[in-house]
Structure 1
């Protein structure tokens, strides 16, 4: 079993003024209108970014060490989901402090070997007041590369829902999203690494990008989201056509080919 005895990282804080330029860049990536005065939910992922030195990166492109990176060998990271609660919106021009802390780290035995489920909480403060709270669920696998997955389907998924957004996540989109979020994880842009080192059948689509696509539905319909939860269920690979579906009563999903549900989300 994965041993993390004694691993108890201290909380840390980062303060940043929120300017509109990163949000405008994401809007362009999504072929959407830029937001107004407020940062839409989950768009905080464009801010408070870690920018490690090149020498501090591991072979997978992630930092080799970090405050909330568990000390386990041959660590491979996957985004699993999260939750977000908005008390007051983050606004452009605000100076906001993000306080990060470890919530839990639970070893598990998965189909591909030992796993560590880590939850990190981000609390956003403005003038000392708590305005929003986010929790991220991350999965770390220890060991060699996974068994190669089967070739993905590229058939356009069927979908019938009140809200519908069609998307195809090509390598250019993945590269641009990696650049916006300063994410150097090689599974998103280095196909040889993704297939040979980590056993994927192609470039992997970012879990946060799928979550943002889900949230585009209520945003474009004019619904103000104050609370949401999302869970990554199956991987999506570059070039696969997607159907992002939703309903006004708060149900969202990303449908991939072969009747695969890649992500589910709820909002209110």
Structure 2
């Protein structure tokens, strides 16, 4: 279990990072997914892996024997408002671990469950899907991408390297693919810095709230990585949302459950 005071100043820093006009004081309900910037678990340098994340096999996540970590998606249930300035507790556990062989080699999947409470009341239940895989080999086939629906105009969001730095800092995410360009390109073979999956999901949730109202649930799945030099377009049709890259490929798909 991890405890946090849910400092309003941190929520306000995220609002600025996201370009929101909102400012929060103690007692205010925070937008969905803002809990990502709380419940830090800082680890000393010797407990980190080559990618800047805590080593697997040391804490909650077992050693899957695969070096590359990605956030593949998640599901959230919003049971009660999550309020700034109110002490909170987060209890995490492993739901499932699975290994299988994919088109590009072995894969390992880990699903974590996080229950977040304030004053003894469950506020948020989150299921976080992680995938681990081998390093890409030179000459390996390019990842398969899918075209996003093109009939929705959507709204464009600019994600700069400053945005990536700020979001990494606020979430205490040390993954080097988000700020170390040489590492991202030369070790993990991405074309550029990678925009955080949760950051994209955050933008989709905020769009859902603006257009559908408050949420009782939200699920999302990453479809392809987005490089730092690519703009992001957010689209919605009914309860389905998606993020589209400039070349038309789908980056993330989501379903909102409005209350």
With normalisation by structure 2, the TM-score equals 0.88
Instruction: List structure 1 runs of 4+ shifted beyond 6 angstroms.
Output: 148-152
- In 1, Cα distance between equivalents of 2:9 and 2:243: 27
Match of 1:212 in 2: 202
Q: Which moved more, 1:78-87 or 1:88-97?
A: 88-97
Q: 1:123 aligns with which of 99, 108, 115?
A: 115
State whether structure 2 residue 32 is matched by structure 1 residue 41: yes
- In 2, Cα distance between equivalents of 1:179 and 1:173: 10
Please list every run of 5 or more consecutive structure 2 residues that lacks an aligned counterpart in the other structure.
Answer: none
State whether structure 2 residue 26 is matched by structure 1 residue 26: no
- In 2, Cα distance between equivalents of 1:202 and 1:59: 18
Match of 1:3 in 2: none
Match of 2:242 in 1: 253
State whether structure 2 residue 76 is matched by structure 1 residue 87: no
Please list every run of 5 or more consecutive structure 1 residues that lacks an aligned counterpart in the other structure.
Answer: 1-12
Q: Is the 8 A contact 1:46 1:180 kept in 2?
A: yes
Q: Is the 8 A contact 1:234 1:263 kept in 2?
A: yes
Matched residue count: 249
Q: Is the 8 A contact 1:159 1:245 kept in 2?
A: no
Q: Is the 8 A contact 2:69 2:131 kept in 1?
A: yes
Cα deviation digits, residues 136-172 of structure 1 (max 9, x gap): 000011x3345478999xxxx995548x321232222
Cα deviation digits, residues 106-160 of structure 1 (max 9, x gap): 101112211111100001122333222000000011x3345478999xxxx9955
Change in Cα spacing, 1:107 to 1:151, as seen in structure 2 (3 Å) is closer
State whether structure 2 residue 231 is matched by structure 1 residue 241: yes
Cα deviation digits, residues 231-253 of structure 1 (max 9, x gap): 10111111112211124x32211
CA RMSD, Structure 1 to Structure 2 (Å): 2.3
Q: 2:67 aligns with which of 69, 72, 75?
A: 75
Alpha-carbon distance, 1:44 to partner:
0.5
Alpha-carbon distance, 1:186 to partner:
0.7
Cα deviation digits, residues 184-236 of structure 1 (max 9, x gap): 11111111111111111111111101101111213334711111111101111
